[in-house]
Structure 1
């Protein structure tokens, strides 16, 4: 019988607090001959890279916010303590301005070399009062001992960064949300009560003095920008051969990768701040509606950038990096996606009619990527329709395939359908619609994505219906037997 700890780990705190506790959007690099990103080792390397970028960014924020001059060589024992810093399993910062001005707690285990802890760390001034630096030992059975984290509480900003696991997968998360930080402190306080109760009263006093504060958007933005500045530069190992990609496509890939990250990072910051505001009490209906609209638009743009980034990776992948296909429930995917599609249609004054059998057979595809591709396809489809149009979604089994079709009908069946808005190609992978500002994957890339997902996309133009999109997905042999 597996015993569940009463006190949650910090990864569990942020996972339950999502979406305000968010994943780091630091780019990953998959060498041409590496395993797919679902490989556990690849996920570990990605999370580790994100952790180092985040800690470097925290240090940048601290050096910016602390009042003593950066690089000061003489810091006296009278230096005022400006905040509380809690880390594990070792101290994370050695800069004198940080070490002297923050009260530091290091959660550790019996296996950690005691000589690495702050009180006995070499190279520090003998005249510096280090009584505000001490370790707290975790129990060996505590799952928190398997995590790395950094909790910062200052007068300027509050932040928590955690490297741990969720559902068995390595994951790095951060949050500026005061509620998340309060829960994180309560989780750590419970550990102090278990193993170092003699420090509890003093630390409660400190935690009250530097209690989590509502974040100023400038600190959140500075952290996001610093993440980009500290991201690792991908390099091919000497033994690896470069990917054979045409020069033009290679240039497109570099542009798109840079573009998607530059767009996702500020949008994620805006969405985080918006969701923090949405949690404020007594918001007027008008403000609530506008904040919800900002959150929705940011999410849609972030999802679009995720789709474009994933598509580019798949479009330039080696055959050994084939997409993992598995038997999946298309019924469950549609049940989750249809409410979002309905909202998209309603915002554009479109009517969405759905004809789906009560029970659908299983198909073979990749559920995560298929969901992104279908949502992107429906969004582009709805953007090209005039107000008042009707969209018919039909799903039917046809032989050994499942057929999903989208077609539109205008209010006046006698009136020919207006052609889709003019689309301009950007390189060989993207299209742009000046009328709407919509950036999306071009048709060939989208068709290739469905091919990689085990399916097929057919696009036809009709005078009355406009574009008709037909998607075929292979039925699972298990479902057919």
Structure 2
């Protein structure tokens, strides 16, 4: 049955524009599948893999093109908007340089579990318009809700990437062509007019300011090169659970989806309001400090809910929905993550000591998921330590693997604190009554590292606490 709707989906826009709209064809690693699947499942897996490679390439392209230094942002100052970024069904990029310099719009559905702010007309519409990100809800019957897409409009390049279907066949397509991008924007603009007209004036200004331009061949070549660099080199699939276990897991997943949504939504609202207040002039240092603390705490809790949700998704993923692994720079990941780890330690009066070689070989993993899992692991690690403890972080190549180890050394002047009591909630979560900390249990965390190509070993030392050791496989390029 052919769906008819008022406005075309982005897949339909690019399909009609062929041959300008190009199918994304990425060489893939295809190991033997222990769970036979239908042709459609294979096509879905292939298109999803291509989508992940394309989005990683878009992120790399954006970080190379944005004018401000990577990672520099100050929430108390107005940032210069360098472009318009429209995604669905969730925000795709969390890097500070992208979040602070691009006006981000996310098209959501009423059932998007990780939806941020409800898109409602309020008395602070213009303030929300100027916020770094806000969602726009699609109508329930809109076929665009079945697609994933990313539309980028900047003064240096314009690009659209779409994961959807054409004639029932899963496809990932992209285009740099200004005509295709103009049609894509008009299709999205029509939906904004239907459900969020109060945002239209502001977005029209940005769309005019960053209207699609003829692509310079260097940007297209760079994108193609990044596609090759981000192509998956390995695929892992978890074992299939027994039927009775799968039933229990499904119940846990539904509970966690509802829990993370109900926690994250109000926290995101609080954080957005806090950031709007931080932009007000003439705030006293004391008020700025308190607001900054509120923003920081909300962000940590939102990130924790995101990690739990993502971890549960991966822990219960179907065999056909594997994790894509690629050659990545562990040095860049640590350079981005270590300042956050340091802040976590300082707020708990802990001393973080880092011993990392100046140059590290590349590893094979999934950079986005690995960053989230490592940060969550470090946060849980620091929460279990008494004030004054010292955390030693060591990274060293060991044979064909890279070893990242975290170990604690209690303050000699402070009595050792007994290991925190932990209670299991279902098969996926752990709760610590003393701290109120909710996290993925260690078995799920270990499974996540296995899905990411690595291995996590947890060792308990008497009177000293845990030692966490993570092993990641070195890239074959790094070993040659």
In the superposition, the TM-score normalised over structure 1's length comes to 0.56
After superposition, residues 287-326 of structure 1 pair within 5 angstroms as: 287-326=287-326
SS at match of 1:387: coil
User: Partner of 2:450 in structure 1?
Assistant: 451
The structure that has the greater radius of gyration is 1
Distance 1:243 1:307, change over 3 A: farther
1:352 maps to 352
* 1:469 matches 2:468: yes
Is residue 283 of structure 2 the alignment partner of residue 283 of structure 1? yes
Please list every run of 5 or more consecutive structure 1 residues that lacks an aligned counterpart in the other structure: 1-30, 66-91, 94-139, 162-180, 193-241
Post-superposition offset of 1:269? 1.5
> What residue number does 1:35 align with?
45
1:53 deviation in Å?
Answer: 3.1
Structure 1 counterpart of 2:434? 435
Task: Point out 4+ residue stretches in structure 1 off by more than 6 angstroms.
Answer: 41-44, 56-60, 189-192
Aligned mates of 1:362, 1:42 — CA distance in 2 = 18
1:8-407 matches, cutoff 5 A: 34-35=44-45, 39-40=50-51, 47=88, 51=107, 53=109, 61=120, 141=179, 143-147=181-185, 148-149=188-189, 159-160=198-199, 182=202, 184=203, 186-187=205-206, 244=243, 246-407=246-407
CA contact (8 A) 2:327 2:364 kept: yes
User: C-alpha displacement at 1:43, in angstroms?
Assistant: 10
1:187-236 residue CA offsets vs partner (Å, 9 max, x unmatched) = 467799xxxxxxxxxxxxxxxxxxxxxxxxxxxxxxxxxxxxxxxxxxxx
User: What is aligned with 1:131?
Assistant: none
Q: Deviations over 1:310-345 (max 9, x none)?
A: 111111112222110000000110011000000000
**Counterparts of 2:438 and 2:374, CA distance in 1:** 16
Change (3 A) 1:159 1:348: farther
CA distance 1:360–1:384, shift in 2 (3 Å): same
CA distance, structure 1, for counterparts of residue 288 and residue 118 of structure 2:
35
Taking a change above 3 Å as real, the CA distance of residues 474 and 60 of structure 1, as seen in their structure-2 partners, is: closer
Q: Distance in 2 between matches of 1:353 and 1:42?
A: 35
Whole-angstrom CA distance in 2 between matches of 1:456 and 1:339: 24
Say which SS state the counterpart of residue 447 (structure 1) adopts.
Answer: helix
| CA distance 1:389–1:53, change in 2 (3 Å) | same
1:416 is displaced (CA, Å) by 7.3
Q: Distance in 2 between matches of 1:391 and 1:399?
A: 25
When residues 467 and 59 of structure 1 are mapped into structure 2, their CA distance, relative to the original with a 3 A threshold, is: closer
Unpaired segments ≥5 residues, structure 2? 1-39, 56-86, 91-105, 124-137, 140-177, 212-240
Does the 8 Å CA contact 1:409/1:464 hold for their aligned counterparts?
no
Contact 2:386 2:416 survives alignment (8 Å): no
Are the aligned partners of 1:363 and 1:475 in contact in 2 as well (CA < 8 Å)?
yes
CA distance in 1, matches of 2:300, 2:444: 20
Q: CA deviation at 1:243?
A: 10
Q: C-alpha distance in 1, partners of 2:443/2:383?
A: 19
Say if 1:447 and 1:457, in contact at 8 Å, map to a contact too. yes
| CA shift in 2, pair 1:330/1:258, >3 Å | same
Structure 1 residue 186: deviation in Å? 3.4
> How many residues are treated as equivalent by the alignment?
307
CA offsets per residue over residues 417-437 of structure 1, 9 Å max, x none?
Answer: 433211111011000111111
Equivalents in 1 of 2:449, 2:268: separation in Å? 28
Shift of the alpha carbon at 1:145?
Answer: 3.8
SS in 2 for 1:371: helix
Structure 2 CA distance for aligned equivalents of residues 342 and 459 of structure 1: 22
Counterparts of 1:460 and 1:450, CA distance in 2: 16
2:26 — aligned with what?
none
| 2:167 equivalent in structure 1 | none
Pairwise CA RMSD: 4.0
How far apart, CA to CA, are the structure 2 residues paired with 1:403 and 1:191? 45
Determine if contact 1:416/1:464 at 8 Å carries over to the other structure: no
SS in 2 for 1:273: helix
